[in-house]
Structure 1
Amino acid sequence: MRILIAEDEPVLASQLKKTLVSEGLTVDVAIDGAEAQYLGETEPYDVIILDLGLPIRDGLTVLKNLRSGGNDTAILILTARNDWTDRVDGLDAGADDYLTKPFHMAELSARVRALIRRKAGKATPVFSKDDVTFDTRNNQVTVQGVPANLTSQEIAVLSYLFHNSGRLVSRTELSDHIYQHEGDRDSNTIAVFVNRLRKKLGSNLIETVRGRGYVIKATA
């Protein structure tokens, strides 16, 4: 799953990125509102973390512009502790959630996971299909209760397919959501990751629709 962090404080932006990357998420960072809006309009994100106090173009303006342009990406706004009116304005402008500074990284991570599930229409953080269970809270994957040893890229592919279970996902879409903005996206490598997942988790978990993509058909 792919996240955009729009935050102009370098230390905080670095901490946010480090935390989310450690949890298996793909992260891009924008340091001002103009860059945040451009990336939000041109790149496919699962969640945007948007500081309202951005330079060049403030976060509320970015939020309004994204929503008026039809962008429905889940957006979590960051605000100063005392700026309750900013929280109200942000929610009224189309934000999905907010967090006040300072905050605990664990809470931010939990809110991001919840937004990803909500946008995917999933109520539970734990997905199951046949003998495979995937816990999104810690990226733990088990087969018949035994932990599976997966690489970060394999987990990224599995996570996106589980969150979009029941829907056909193309190789291009998968690569768009597991690689960074400036990353070397090669949709052909997706087939390699899927083949590895089948060897580790079972050949029936991920189905291929020839020439179109992949699907996990039904999950609990």
Structure 2
Amino acid sequence: MDWSQTVMVTKDNIHRELEQEFKNTLTQTDYRKLLAHFKTDEGRILQLTNAYFDQDDHLKNHGMALRIRVINQGRAEMTLKYAVGPLQKAETTVALSVNEAYSWIDSGRLTVAKPIGDALLEQQITTTTFPLVTAMTTKRYELPYQTGLLVLDQVTFSDNTIDFELEYEVTDLAIGQKEFSALLHQFNIPRIVSAPKIERALSHESKR
């Protein structure tokens, strides 16, 4: 699939998307400042459980991440994502029931749905079963902002460490870059690009 021209395709509970976002590490003080400023009725709060799967760093070494996410205990999904360009990731997502999601998480081993397997094959990866490597919970607040979606995350890792992150999801990187830089400047927040959540989570696993 040519992701350079694809923004979003949804069919039969399968969702393919080109994710474009800016990410920034926040202090707790800056997180609270942004939350107090932006929290309105237009936004929504999500409780997320994220579980990541890999086999001997095979996906990690290919710049990929395989995740099951449970959202507000009401719906769930399996997602494969990988970089296709600067600040761009291809995502293939398959809807799951919450029971299915927790069944895979509790078993500690995931056999991917066929659309995910097909996406792996496109990247010359034939493995279809992966063990659980880490999990985390996220309290997320999101709302529309200018031309994109503003996301504030409070992430709790397996060792109970908490960190904070700002994301800005956009459809146009050039416009989004200007808006994101202006936002950081407005609130006097230093530009600190945050590592992917799976990398941060694995670093906390190693400290347990």
TM-score by length of 2: 0.28
Tell me the TM-score normalized by structure 1. Answer: 0.27
Which has a greater percent of strand? 2
Higher RCO, 1 vs 2 (CA within 8 Å, ≥6 residues apart): 2
Q: Which has the higher helix share?
A: 1
- Rg larger for: 1
